[in-house]
Structure 1
Amino acid sequence: MKQHIKQLLLSACTFFLFCNTHSALADTASDTETLLNWAEKTYPTIFPSHQATQNIEPWLFRYYPEFGIYAGVNKNDNSVYVLGGPWGDNPTVIDTLASLINEINNSGGSGGIAACDTANVFAGVTYSQSGNVVTVTTNGHCVAAPDLINTNLCQVPQQTTASGISLLSSNTITASSIAGISTSIPGLPNPFQAIVDAAANVKHCTMNAPAETANLVVNSDLCLDITTAITGAIGSLPIDGIVITPPVNYFTKGTYTSQSVPDCFETDATTISDVLTGEVWINQGGGFVKVGS
Structure 2
Amino acid sequence: MKPIILFTCTLALLGNICSVFATTASDTEKLLNWAENTYREIFPSHQATQNIEPWLFRYYPESSVYAGVNKNDNNVYVMGGPWGNSPTLINTLSSLITQINNSGGNSSIAACDITNAPAGVSYSQSDNVVTMTTNGACVQAPDLTNTNLCKVPQQTTASGISLLGSNTITSSSIEGLSTSIPGLPNPFQAIVDAAANVKHCTINAPAETANLVVNSDLCLDITTALTDTLAGLPVDGIVLTPPVKYITKGTYRTEGVTDCFATDAMSINDAYTGDVWIKQNGNFIKVNN
Give yes or no for TM over 0.5: yes
Work out the CA distance in 1 between the residues paired with 2:116 and 2:100.
23
Q: Conserved in 1, the CA contact under 8 Å of 2:106 and 2:124?
A: no
Structure 1 pair 129/227, CA: closer, same or farther in 2 (3 Å)?
same
Alignment CA distance shift 1:236-1:35 (3 Å): farther
Partner of 2:149: 153
Measured in 2, the distance between the counterparts of 1:96 and 1:264 equals: 39
Equivalent-residue separation in structure 1 for 2:53 and 2:185 (angstroms):
59
Q: Is the 8 A contact 2:27 2:93 kept in 1?
A: no
The reply to whether residue 266 of structure 1 matches residue 273 of structure 2 is: no
Check whether the contact 2:31–2:97 (CA below 8 A) recurs between aligned residues.
no
Structural mapping, 1:1-293, within 5 Å = 38-43=30-35, 49=48, 65-66=51-52, 68=54, 83-84=71-72, 87=75, 94-95=94-95, 101-102=101-102, 104=103, 110-292=106-288
Q: Deviations over 1:163-207 (max 9, x none)?
A: 111111111100000011011111110000001101111110100
Q: CA offset at residue 154 of structure 1?
A: 1.1
Structure 1 residue runs without a partner (length 5+): 1-26, 51-63, 71-80
Q: What residue identity is the alignment partner of 2:186?
A: N
Gaps of 5+ in 2: 1-18, 37-42, 57-68, 77-90
Contact 1:175 1:253 in 2 (8 A): yes
Cα distance change of structure 1 residues 115 and 243 upon mapping to structure 2, 3 Å threshold: same
Q: Is contact 2:141–2:222 with CA below 8 Å preserved after alignment?
A: yes
Cα RMSD (Å) of the superposition? 3.3
TM-score, normalising length: structure 1: 0.70
Q: Which structure has the highest helix share of the two?
A: 1
Percent identity among equivalent residues? 60
Residues 214/97 of structure 1: CA separation in 2 closer, same or farther (3 Å cut): closer
Q: What's the counterpart of residue 9 of structure 1?
A: none
Shift of 1:131: 1.1
CA distance in 2, matches of 1:149, 1:286: 23
Larger radius of gyration: 1
The one-letter code matched in structure 2 to 1:143 is: V
Question: Are the structure 2 counterparts of residues 167 and 92 from structure 1 closer, same or farther at C-alpha, using a change threshold of 3 Å?
Answer: closer
Distance (Å, rounded) in 2 between the aligned partners of 1:29 and 1:223:
31
CA distance in 1: counterparts of 2:96 and 2:278, whole angstroms: 48
Residue type of the partner of 1:261?
A: V
CA contact (8 A) 2:177 2:239 kept: yes
CA contact (8 A) 1:222 1:251 kept: yes
Per-residue CA deviation, residues 38-73 of structure 1 (Å, 9 max, x unaligned), is 51213468x9657xxxxxxxxxxxxx8445469xxx
Q: Which amino acid aligns with 2:33?
A: K
